[in-house]
Amino acid sequence: MSATAAAITVSDLTMAYGSFVLQRGLDFTINQGDIFVIMGGSGCGKSTLLRHMIGLMQPAQGEIWYGKENFWKLDETDRAAILRKAGVLYQSGALWSSMTLGENIALPLAHYTSLAPKVIDELVSFKLSLVGLAGFESYYPAQLSGGMRKRAALARAIALDPDFLFFDEPSAGLDPISARNLDQLIQELCEGLGATVIIVTHELASIYAIGTNSVFLDGEKKTMLATGDPKMLLKECQEETVVQFLTRGTGKREVRTV
């Protein structure tokens, strides 16, 4: 697959809770190797769109394609096979509080592979070292700072060397320096793994620092208003709602990553 090939294609997607339509007419492409940002105001459906992509919520209408596979037309077994190639970092980290970091990261390796326990232990140590937590295997989540828990959750998300990484507000609750460090880590891991990254966030610093492609969802019009590189949208987009979001309401088209 080439660097510009479509990794995920969303076609005419409608998201709804019963008769309440949250978003309709979503059409965009996530290319292989993108750091793709789902952005928009609060309550517009960003996290809901993520749930549609990772198999937790079925579309009211439309299609989601992984390469040439129509995800929601597949049977449960084939969908699960696709999702085994994905890692997810939830907003809270979602680490098991009763398990050590080593046990948390070993869990997907033990469940989805037939690797020997010694090999799993070595992989756990390697994944923790990648996120700057070498030697923390025996620590429990409660013993860590918020930033360290996010990094530990990231180590678990990359345990199986996924093709896709999904992040829901990864910087939420972090101070600016920790958030910036996490952005850099995500970028480095994306390049190292060759993964396609999909991030839900409203943090402009993160959007401009690492985003290479994006979609903007509008809660009032209940549809997407723009798609493309966030920095190019800042320069060229004519949708006032998008401009106001990307400039924090100032209208000044300047990229600020700090």
For the segment 34-57, the average pLDDT, to the nearest whole number, is: 94
The predicted pLDDT at position 2 comes to 44
Task: Identify the H or E element spanning 167.
Answer: strand 164-168
4 pLDDT tier (thresholds 50, 70, 90) = low
Rounded-to-integer distance, Cα 169 and Cα 91, Å: 5
Q: What is the pLDDT of residues 213-222, one digit of tens each?
A: 999 999 999 9
Is 128 in contact with 136 (CB distance < 8 Å)?
yes
Neighbours of 180 (CB within 10 A): 17
pLDDT higher than 80, residue 48: yes
Q: What is the pLDDT of residues 71-130, one digit of tens each?
A: 999 999 999 999 989 998 876 667 888 999 999 999 989 988 889 999 999 999 999 998
Is 193 in contact with 160 (CB distance < 8 Å)?
no
Q: What is the pLDDT of residues 235-258, one digit of tens each?
A: 999 899 999 999 987 767 666 555
CATH 3.40.50.300 in the chain is located at 1-85+162-258
Q: What is the pLDDT of residues 123-171, one digit of tens each?
A: 999 999 988 899 989 999 989 887 888 889 889 989 889 999 999 888 7
Q: What percent of the chain has pLDDT over 90?
A: 60
Q: What percent of the chain has pLDDT over 70?
A: 95
- Fold that domain 1-85+162-258 belongs to in CATH: Rossmann fold (3.40.50)
